[in-house]
Structures are given as C-alpha cells and as structure tokens.
Amino acid sequence: MVPLSFLPYNPVLTGLRDRAMLLIAFYIAITAEAMTAALAAGRRNMDWFGVCLIACVTALGGGTIRDLLLDHYPLFWVENPYVLLLVCGAALLTIPLARVMDKLRWPFLLLDALGLVVFTVIGCNIGIEAGVHPIIVIVAGMVTGTAGGILRDVLCNDVPLIFQGELYATVSMVAGIIYFVGLLNGLPVEVMATIAIVVGFTLRVLALRFKWEMPKFVYDRDMRK
C-alpha cells in the first residue's frame, strides 16, 4: 500500500464543501443510471423485480466492485441503504413513464455522461483514501465509472457498449488522470473535481456528437489475401 504522503493532503477528508457538489451529482447520476437501466430491462421484457435488479446493478455495480477490490468496507450502499430505495424507486417510476422517456434520448445521454465522470472522480477519491498506488487510483475511478454499464449489458444479453468502440473508458481514464495529477500538484479538490468533470463530460458529448470511436480489431481467420 502506498501511503498518503504522496499527496499534499488527503482530498477525501477536506470538508463537506468539497463533497457537497459530488454528493449532489452522485444522486443525480445514480437516478439517471437507474432509469436508463430500467428502459434496457423493459426492452428485454423483464418483470418488475428484474427491472429493479438491473437498475441496482447498473447504478451501484461499479462502486460495489471497486469497494470489493480495494477491501473498502462497508460497501457504500450497505452503509447507506436508502440509496437502494432511491435506485429502485427511480426504476419503478420509469415503467409508467417509459414511452415519454424513450423520446428523451439526448437528455439521458447527457446525464449518463455526467454520471460517468462523477463516478470516476468519486472512485479516485476512494482509491486515494485506501492508499493504493496511483495507477490503481485511476483504475478505481474507471471501474466505478464503467463497470455498472458492463454488468447491465451482460445481464441484458448485449455486447457491452464499452467494447464496441465507444469512447467511454477512455473518457473515464482522462478524467481520472486530470483529477489525480491536479491533486498531486497541490491544487484544491473542488477546483480539480470541477475541471475533471467538465473536461470528461465535454469529451464524452463530443464523442457522441461526432461519433468518435476507438480503433477496432477486426480479425477473420477465413479472410483471404
């Protein structure tokens, strides 16, 4: 374990003001993630329990995997079980509103982009608090931001979007690096959180707008020269 001495201060313990912005953004993000996951479950004709399960896996799965990997207990939703009620409530609310919500594609894409970078910053904070190596701090942010969506797609029998060229994990990595490098240089937490979120959010939206993708590896052993 790398001690926190590699940072000028511990950004996880710098006061409520630093955490308030992330806390508000976190609740907005998990609500949006739960609702988009509920729509995905509805497209697979799942029952209400399945809708709630997919919503929980999507909204809370990344943070859960991160906490398990970092031996960070109690799990954040075990410590605050009201998060489960919020996620399930948002998922169930989606059922009667599905036809309206399905038309609001861009607003939910924007909220998903916000959730990606907010979860990434929060994941980096947990990694810093755990005192792990800087590389693992970035990985913790990426896992928090992306793993829930991977689990959702797998459970819905879809190829995860993150593996189809989408600039998703890359955006998370960029946001995490910006945030962490800024902290290493002694910049205020609230400033670096804002910069990382704005840059990551903008990059994700631009990728969606202009269809930027990662290069794909296409291999067919039956291809002839």
Q: Which amino acid is at 78?
A: V
Q: Which residues pair with 166 in a beta bridge?
A: 213
Residues 158-193 pLDDT 10s: 888 888 878 899 999 999 999 999 999 988 888 899
Residues 49-90 pLDDT 10s: 999 999 999 999 999 999 999 998 889 899 889 999 999 999
Please give the share of the chain, as a percent, with pLDDT higher than 70.
Answer: 89
CA distances from 4 to 11, 66, 140, 175, 185 (A): 10, 19, 16, 21, 14
Q: Which of the pair, 101 or 133, is modelled with greater confidence?
A: 133
Query: Per the structure block, which two tokens stand in for 117?
Result: 């970078």
Peptide bond into 74 cis (omega under 30): yes
- Supply the pTM of this predicted model: 0.87
191 and 182 in contact (C-beta within 8 Å)?
yes
52 and 169 in contact (C-beta within 8 Å)?
no
Q: Which amino acid is at 50?
A: G
Model confidence at 220, in pLDDT bands (50, 70, 90)?
A: confident
- Helix 16-43 crosses helix 189-210 at what angle (to 10 degrees)? 30
Whether the per-residue pLDDT at 1 is higher than 90: the answer is no
